Chain A
Amino acid sequence: MIAGAWLCLFAPLAGTLAITVGGNRISRLAAGWLSTASVFVAFGGAAWSFFGLRAHGSEHGALSTAWVWLQAGTFKAGLSVLVDPLSTMMMLIVSGVGGLIVLYSIGYMDGDDEERRYFAYMSLFVFSMLLLVEGGNLLILLAGWGLVGLSSYLLIGFWHERPTAVAAAKKAFVMNAIGDATMALAFFVLIAHSNSLSFATSFATAGHLSETTVNLVALGLLGGAVAKSAQIPLHTWLPDAMEGPTPVSALIHAATMVTAGVYLIVRTHPIFEQARTIELIAAGLGTLTLLVAGLIALVQTDIKRVIAYSTMSQIGYMFLGAGVGAYANGMFHLLTHAFFKALLFLAAGLVIHALSGEQDMRKMGGIGKVMPWTRWAFLAGALALVGLPPFAGFFSKDAIIAAALHDHWYGVVLAIAALAGAFLTGLYTFRMYFIVFGPTAGSDTAPRSQTHEGPKTMLVPVGILAVLSVVGGWIQFSPFWHPLTNWLSPVAATLGVAEPSNTQEAIASVFAVVLGLAGAVVAYAVYGQRRLAIPRVPSLQRALEHKLYFDEAYDALFYRPAAAMAVSFRREFEEPVVLASGSDLGEGALELGQGLRRLQTGLLRTYVFFLATGMAVLAVVFLVVK
């Protein structure tokens, strides 16, 4: 069981190293298959540890330490992996969905200039993500956290000849660094109080800390989660991150890395439960994000950006679930979201690939006729995203809304907002679907004779994910059967306040389905049939197209003051003081030399005169002093 976990962790790293060392000696295709194989081996390892753990019973998690990595006084942190229900679940998601996406990349990246580098990065990312989810203490978790940030940076900026991609990569890195910093600060506080970063000790310590301290720790962790999961207020990097190749968006910015924040909250929930206020703030932020992202998604025209905002919105649901204490429901939505969001990205990638890089939805009209398989797969993903039964999203999203509904007035407000979000989800998802695959082809549609479906390596993963998007949710249906909740209960038992009654489940389900369907119907009327005109509210539309001015606000709040300060420092301090001081010193020395030069007359008698005068003065001084 533990061996499976180690295999799972190091197989992708081996893949990265093999591709890196192999360099030009292995073909591009071989690099792709090597990377795919390494991730599927990791999946095998994950399955091994999953079944091992199941045989032992899910409460018998195991911690294995390879060696003590860091030792300072009595503080020790080892390179250790943890096999418990939560980590095996994440391992399966990361390596399973990851393997499918890497396989898909072989077709998608075919003909790109630097495929080997791409596949080395992909394997590196999977390794980092596995390190994050398997890490047996908070330090290893932080190391994985930083490494996924790095690989995300490398992959967003993969097409480094595009200035926008480089800018997006930098933006993602900087925004994530803010979260990494707050997380590291939270860990420092934990070390100061418990002298340990192991899960057990830290969680036990959280109970003895003062309220302020534990709130600070939870706030630091929340900062990390919010930055990594692109929640308000640190969300602006995710839409820009769509500059990377589409499989990267599917793997990192939909299925795995961005959900790490949810994993962090669930993993450290004993700390958050001591700081319940912060946990509810997390739920509130998630709800705010799901509404704002849903609204912005309504006006975007870039297909990947629509899906990116939808990802933010769905992670908002997960934050809501984890925040109110329904950890298993949050993780369940993470699982189904990994399926259908990866599917949507990969299907969108098929369209983009067929149109050689076109991402504007308005120029895709009528593509459904030549790509029927893609269309069906996309429809399955869209239905799962909207949450209509029996698709996956129905089971997981409704459970979250129901869990929120149980928690007094605050929870009711959140649940109502989440239901409004369900309507928005239906609207923007089917707006996208009808614009891209709709029956009426746009006037500016290019001839489609050359376009056709992608190769098998791309269609197979899409097909598997489409099936999973349909059946993936059936493993848990809250009031009737809940194996996932039981499985996770030893590490992340659902809080009592988040156990909804059957009535609440029913209310949440009915409203969510009706509202989602209503959104889809409105989208059909507006974009499918073009019967309804879109109501024009220019100011609102402009605000949404500017993504509610978050970028502009951050520009004005942080970038401009910093740049102005730097300019004024240069003008007021560096130029007059630092740069000028060198020449000032030189000129001063020159002037002094000019003065002293006069003394050197070249006449022997003046020297002798000075000598004699000096002697005379000395003699007088001696006489007087004596």
Chain B
Amino acid sequence: MLQGPGIAWYLGIAAFLFATGALGVLIRRNPLIILLSLEIMLNGGNLALIAFSRHAGNGAGQIFALAVMAVAASEVCVGLGLVVALHRRRLAMDVDKLSELRG
């Protein structure tokens, strides 16, 4: 049995990471930074999954974490692709100005 800090510590760090990411998504306007913040939120989630996996003693959480990483990778592909496309069209790197969907 591996020894280490209790599950509460892990969850605390996971919540901290998630909140940091969410704050970044909410207040930053640069799409690149928002993508980075999203990754931080995902990693917070992953940490919580692995912590639970270890706490429960089975591998299900790890599998979930791997799936989340795969999704994150593809999401970054799309997201970065969009950022590059925006840049090529010389559009402002500011999500508040990309508001054509306003009703």
Contact = CB atoms under 8 A, between A and B. Distances in A.
A147 to B, nearest CB: 68
B99 A603 contact: yes
Nearest to A609: B26
Interface in A600-617: 600-605, 608-609, 612
Interface in A334-357: none
A597 B96 contact: no
A600 B27 contact: no
B5 interface: no
Interface residues of A, number: 13
Contacts of B34: 604
28 contacts: A596-B103, A597-B103, A598-B103, A600-B101, A600-B102, A600-B103, A601-B99, A601-B103, A602-B98, A602-B100, A602-B101, A602-B103, A603-B95, A603-B96, A603-B102, A604-B34, A604-B95, A604-B96, A604-B98, A605-B25, A605-B26, A605-B95, A605-B96, A608-B22, A608-B26, A609-B26, A612-B22, A612-B26
B5 to A, nearest CB: 24
Contacts of B101: 600, 602
Interface string A565-608: 00000000000000000000000000000001111111111001
Given A600-B103, A603-B102, A608-B26, 11 more contacts: A596-B103, A602-B98, A602-B102, A602-B103, A603-B95, A603-B99, A604-B34, A605-B26, A609-B26, A612-B22, A612-B26
A605 B27 contact: yes
A597 B96 CA distance: 18
Cβ-closest 5 pairs across A and B: A602-B102, A602-B99, A600-B103, A597-B103, A604-B95
B64 to A, nearest CB: 18
Contacts of B27: 605
Nearest to A596: B103
A603 B34 CA distance: 13
Contact of B103 (A599, A604, A612): A599
Interface of B: 22, 25-27, 34, 95-96, 98-103
A605 B24 CA distance: 10
B44 to A, nearest CB: 13
A596 B25 CA distance: 25
A605 to B, nearest CB: 5
Nearest to B25: A608
A591 to B, nearest CB: 14
Contacts of B25: 605, 608
A410 to B, nearest CB: 87
A612 B25 CA distance: 11
A598 B102 CA distance: 8
A599 B101 CA distance: 11
Interface in A456-504: none
A509 B103 CA distance: 100
A596 B102 CA distance: 11
A215 to B, nearest CB: 75
Contacts of A597: 103
A31 to B, nearest CB: 75
Nearest to B28: A605
Nearest to A605: B26
A599 B100 CA distance: 14
A605 B37 CA distance: 13
B101 to A, nearest CB: 5
A356 to B, nearest CB: 79
A620 to B, nearest CB: 15
A599 B102 CA distance: 9
